Chains A and B, each alone.
Chain A
Amino acid sequence: MKGFTFHKPRSLKEALAMLKEADGKAKIMAGGTDLLGAMKDGIMQPERLINLQEIPDLANIRPDNDRLHLGALVSLHEITVHPSIQKRFGILAQAAQEVGSPQLRNMGTLGGNLCQRPRCWYYRGDFVCLKRGGDQCFAVTGQNKYHAVIEGGPCFIVHPSDTAPALLAMDASVRIAGPDGEKIAALEKFFMTPRDNVTRENILEPDQILTEIMVPLPREGSRGIYLKARERRCWDFALASVALLLNIDDGICQEIRLVLGGIAPIPFRASKAEEVLKGKPIEIELIDQACRMALSGARPLASNAYKLELTQALIKQALLTLSNK
């Protein structure tokens, strides 16, 4: 790792001032489980690291009447063991449990999970691809088993986060602090496709900090599930994952939010599948139809078409489980 200076601000205000002063040459550090790997790989070489671990307010878990407030620095481990998250926000607890290994979940934070950089092996290797400022995407003609099958191009990364699909299924929003104050954005507006900007994955500017994630309490009777397919049961990122929030009343699907991970550059909302089921009785034929519609428009690369069937199978499993079929 190249040399850098290390700073541990004690308040958000101090952290923001440090970021502004560094003028793009600093990086935020939360648990460091993604950042330090990226720095060892040489894909990031910040002159300064601004570590947020000592800012007390950022690590709070605070439920109120209609939503859950999670500080960006809450660890993934805490999310998996917190009783009210397990009970009312089960999709998130399940997704956090699927991240990396126990050691990584002890250090890794929720904010870091949303802001982590992609895992494309060309990008993490020594290839100067589009994302690193070069002029081509090596995955298009190269080894693309783990790349995007839908909404890819010009870069074909998949978004690596397990918690992002879960939070999107619950319609979460994020609080962002910057030099001009705070703003709140729907998580749906947080991620950025390579078409918008190939060098980044979200809307955060270099002088902004993600401070809080807010999750509305799912309505009475809603159920959720997060399913992840991976090669090894530990460490591996999702080949495909499914976050589903479903509300069935009197056999009719009242509400459905279906978000897919591991298959597109940003978490993918399968709205076409949702449309098939919304307002209808949940029946096997419709479930099959929803699975077929979920990825319509997909354009797999040479070695990743297996993700289509895999994703459909996960969606089916999720729908069958939540509808007790």
Chain B
Amino acid sequence: MTHQIELIINGEHYELMVKANKTLLELLREDLDLTGTKMGCGTGDCGACTVLLDNRPVNACLVLAVEARGKEIVTIEGLAQGETLHPLQQAFIDHGAVQCGFCTPGMILTAKALLDNNPNPTEPMIRRAIAGNICRCTGYTKIVKAIMAVASR
């Protein structure tokens, strides 16, 4: 069964036809070519697919596209303003917090949600907030430093 949905993605209004069994992750990557959001496990176990749904980090692999009807989605593509990177994106580069980059989009969105809620988190708070995003490369230290750098501004 196909449903007509309206939603906002990265500030833009979309009207789409989606199948009931399509996940939000599939909608973003396959239909809209927003491939910044990654597909890792598909089962809620890695956080690579993290997007913001009404400002909260969720696993897009475990959300149906039809559930996003009337909601606001932010993906990594929505962060930069033209050529200017979002402070978190810039800080990740400056601190060497990106290696293979697979976890980065989800990690930055989780960090954004944290800082939007609490501009001055402590290090343990940051570590708790990103606990649902696996990074296989960096060992997390530089990721935490990058987020701290933006937080202390």
Chain A interface residues toward B at CB < 8 A: 1-6, 32-33, 36-37, 40, 49, 51, 53, 77, 100-104, 106-107, 233-235
Q: Once bound together, how far apart are the Cα atoms of A4 and B66, in whole Å? A: 12
Q: Once bound together, how far apart are the Cα atoms of A51 and B132, in whole Å? A: 25
Is A106 touching B57 in the complex (CB atoms < 8 A)?
A: yes
B residues less than 8 Å from A107 (CB atoms): 58-59, 62-63
Given contacts A102-B132, A103-B44, A4 and B56 within 8 Å (CB-CB): no
CB distance from B118 to the nearest CB of A (A): 11
Q: Once bound together, how far apart are the Cα atoms of A104 and B62, in whole Å? A: 9
Partner of B131, one of A1, A37, A51, A102: A102
Which residue of chain A has its CB nearest to the CB of B45?
A235
Given contacts A32-B64, A107-B63, A6 and B1 within 8 Å (CB-CB): yes
Is B21 touching A4 in the complex (CB atoms < 8 A)?
A: yes
B residues less than 8 Å from A36 (CB atoms): 23, 62-64
Is B20 touching A4 in the complex (CB atoms < 8 A)?
A: yes
| 25 cross-chain CB contacts under 8 A | A1-B23, A2-B21, A3-B19, A3-B21, A5-B20, A6-B1, A6-B3, A6-B20, A32-B64, A33-B62, A36-B64, A37-B43, A40-B43, A49-B20, A53-B67, A77-B56, A101-B59, A102-B131, A103-B57, A103-B58, A104-B59, A106-B57, A106-B58, A107-B59, A234-B132
A residues less than 8 Å from B37 (CB atoms): none
Is A5 touching B50 in the complex (CB atoms < 8 A)?
A: no
Interface centre among A5, A6, A103, A235 (most CB of B within 10 A): A103
Instruction: Indicate whether B105 reaches chain A with its CB closer than 8 angstroms.
Output: no
B residues less than 8 Å from A103 (CB atoms): 44, 47, 50, 57-59, 110, 132
Using a CB-CB cutoff of 8 Å, which residues 32-58 of chain B contact chain A?
Answer: 42-45, 47, 50, 53, 56-58
A residues less than 8 Å from B19 (CB atoms): 3
Is B59 touching A40 in the complex (CB atoms < 8 A)?
A: no
Q: Once bound together, how far apart are the Cα atoms of A323 and B57, in whole Å? A: 38
Is B67 touching A106 in the complex (CB atoms < 8 A)?
A: no
Interface centre among A51, A53, A235 (most CB of B within 10 A): A235
Interface centre among A3, A5, A33, A36 (most CB of B within 10 A): A36
Instruction: Indicate whether B150 reaches chain A with its CB closer than 8 angstroms.
Output: no
7 more contacts with CB within 8 A, not counting A33-B44, A104-B59, A234-B131, are A3-B19, A4-B1, A37-B43, A101-B47, A102-B110, A103-B59, A107-B63
Instruction: Indicate whether B7 reaches chain A with its CB closer than 8 angstroms.
Output: no
A residues less than 8 Å from B47 (CB atoms): 101, 103
Is A6 touching B64 in the complex (CB atoms < 8 A)?
A: yes
CB distance from A52 to the nearest CB of B (A): 11
Is A104 touching B44 in the complex (CB atoms < 8 A)?
A: yes
Is B67 touching A100 in the complex (CB atoms < 8 A)?
A: no
B residues less than 8 Å from A40 (CB atoms): 42-43
Instruction: Indicate whether B149 reaches chain A with its CB closer than 8 angstroms.
Output: no
Is B20 touching A101 in the complex (CB atoms < 8 A)?
A: no
CB distance from A238 to the nearest CB of B (A): 16
A residues less than 8 Å from B45 (CB atoms): 235
CB distance from B126 to the nearest CB of A (A): 12
Q: Once bound together, how far apart are the Cα atoms of A152 and B130, in whole Å? A: 36
Interface centre among B50, B53, B59 (most CB of A within 10 A): B59
A residues less than 8 Å from B50 (CB atoms): 103
Interface centre among B19, B43, B44, B129 (most CB of A within 10 A): B44
